[in-house]
């Protein structure tokens, strides 16, 4: 089958088209013909080698972390899916590879595609949708009447998180560029701050939760936005010891991780707020819940650009510019009827 691979880690390492073996199907796996796959900043981090200690993946490596497609075969013990089912999924963390024609995914990480969405639209959802769900619902326990500040509201995670937070009944503040203020407001943001003109840490106060996805400066400033007892959840800041322990890292690596996050955890304690690092985990069950919300028309996908499969490397380069509004998606199967 055709796929796009990297042969070594590196920030500028190109994706190379190659012929690779079709994935082996485990007894609890489904084999999916990929119709579309989305590009995520996680793909850039994996390519650079920044996560190779956390995710020891074998090179050459097919990148890509989420997809929409059609089930073609199922393992002997699969019960929930059958050939012909239209599905979407976030891949197994150690079995990525959606920039390809086929992939084998654990049954537990797959859900039926929202019927109202095209394959391209559905492919844009799994990773960012699960990230937003696990940050706001699972870890943050966001409730009606609370206030949440979501960094980078026009990004892939931001566009989903704003809509999910509004669905949960929260008041939402976010940051974006001036060009995207109208977009984030249309998604439900109550307060939208142009980060080029204003400092969010001097404007926002007494928030219950912050979802951070940017750099160190924004992370440290976020502490001041929270009220005592509030939560600072990051998907891009330094991992905390709890994450290292749950990931089964060796004791020495757990110690190193603790040192990397010591400064921000100390600052959080001084302000009486909680600091937590979130590394999203795949979950078909959660994707099914997200699908129901999308079927109800509460959340809509935000897609900036769609690229043909042969331009997967260009799609990755586009996301790397940081200018994407919502998601960039690679269409693996060229012709597609909206279902």
pLDDT by residue for the chain (339 residues), tens only, comes to 999 999 999 999 999 999 999 999 999 999 999 999 999 999 999 999 998 877 889 999 999 999 999 999 999 999 999 999 999 999 998 999 999 999 999 999 999 999 999 999 999 999 999 999 999 999 999 999 999 999 999 999 999 999 999 999 999 999 999 999 999 999 999 999 999 999 999 999 999 999 999 999 999 999 999 999 999 999 999 998 888 888 788 888 888 888 989 999 999 999 999 999 999 999 999 999 999 999 999 999 999 999 999 999 999 999 999 889 999 999 999 865 443
pTM of the predicted protein model: 0.95
Instruction: Quote the pLDDT of residue 339.
Output: 37
Q: What is the CATH number of the domain that holds 192?
A: 3.40.50.720
The CA–CA distances, whole Å, from 189 to 127, 210, 218, 254 equal: 21, 14, 19, 37
Question: Is there a single domain that holds both residue 133 and residue 273?
Answer: yes
**Sheet of strand 274-277: strand arrangement:** 191-194, 171-176, 147-150, 207-212, 226-234, 274-277
Contacts of 335 (CB under 8 A, 6+ apart): none
The CA–CA distances, whole Å, from 305 to 70, 314, 318, 325 equal: 22, 11, 9, 9
Cα–Cα nearest to 36, from 285, 339, 281, 328? 328
Assigned domain for 101 exists: yes
Assigned domain for 141 exists: yes
Strand partners, 173: 149, 191
Question: Is there a single domain that holds both residue 6 and residue 66?
Answer: yes
Question: Is there a single domain that holds both residue 156 and residue 119?
Answer: no
Assigned domain for 292 exists: no
Q: Which domain holds residue 45?
A: 2-125+301-331
- Residue 146 tokens read as 């609370």
Question: Is there a single domain that holds both residue 247 and residue 320?
Answer: no
> Cis ω on the peptide bond leading into residue 181 (within 30° of 0)?
no
Total count of domains within the chain = 2
Q: What angle do CA 38, 41, 43 make, to 5 degrees?
A: 70
Which residue is it, tokens 């960039």?
A: 328
Assigned domain for 337 exists: no
Instruction: Quote the pLDDT of residue 243.
Output: 85
Which residue is it, tokens 């996908």?
A: 301
């Amino acid at each position: 089958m055709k796929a796009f691979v990297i042969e070594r880690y590196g920030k500028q390492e190109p994706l190379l088209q190659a012929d690779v073996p079709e994935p082996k199907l485990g007894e609890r796996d489904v084999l999916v013909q990929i119709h579309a796959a989305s590009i995520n900043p996680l793909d850039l981090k994996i390519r650079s080698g920044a996560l190779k200690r956390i995710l020891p993946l074998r090179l050459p490596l097919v990148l890509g972390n989420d997809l929409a497609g059609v089930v073609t075969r199922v393992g002997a013990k699969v019960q929930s899916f059958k050939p012909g089912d239209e599905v979407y999924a976030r891949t197994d963390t150690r079995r990525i590879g959606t920039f390809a024609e086929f992939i084998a995914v654990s049954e537990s990480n797959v859900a039926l595609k929202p019927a109202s969405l095209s394959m391209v639209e559905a492919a844009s959802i799994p990773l960012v949708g699960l990230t937003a769900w696990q940050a706001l619902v699972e870890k943050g326990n966001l409730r009606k009447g609370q206030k949440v500040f979501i960094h980078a509201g026009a990004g892939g995670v931001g566009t989903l998180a704003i809509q999910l937070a509004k669905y949960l009944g929260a008041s939402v503040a976010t940051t974006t560029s001036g060009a995207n203020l109208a977009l984030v407001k249309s998604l439900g943001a109550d307060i939208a701050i142009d980060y080029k003109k204003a400092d969010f840490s001097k404007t926002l106060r007494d928030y219950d939760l912050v979802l951070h996805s940017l750099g160190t400066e924004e992370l440290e400033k976020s502490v001041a936005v929270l009220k005592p007892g509030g939560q600072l959840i990051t998907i891009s800041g330094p991992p905390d010891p709890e994450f290292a322990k749950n990931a089964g890292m060796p004791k020495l690596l757990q110690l190193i991780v603790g040192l990397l996050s010591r400064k921000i955890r100390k600052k959080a304690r001084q302000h009486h707020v909680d600091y937590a690092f979130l590394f999203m985990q795949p979950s078909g069950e959660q994707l099914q819940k997200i699908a129901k919300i999308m079927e109800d028309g509460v959340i809509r996908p935000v897609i900036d650009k769609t690229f043909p499969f042969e331009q997967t490397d260009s799609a990755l380069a586009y996301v790397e510019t940081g200018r994407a509004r919502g998601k960039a998606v690679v269409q693996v199967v060229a012709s597609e009827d909206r279902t």
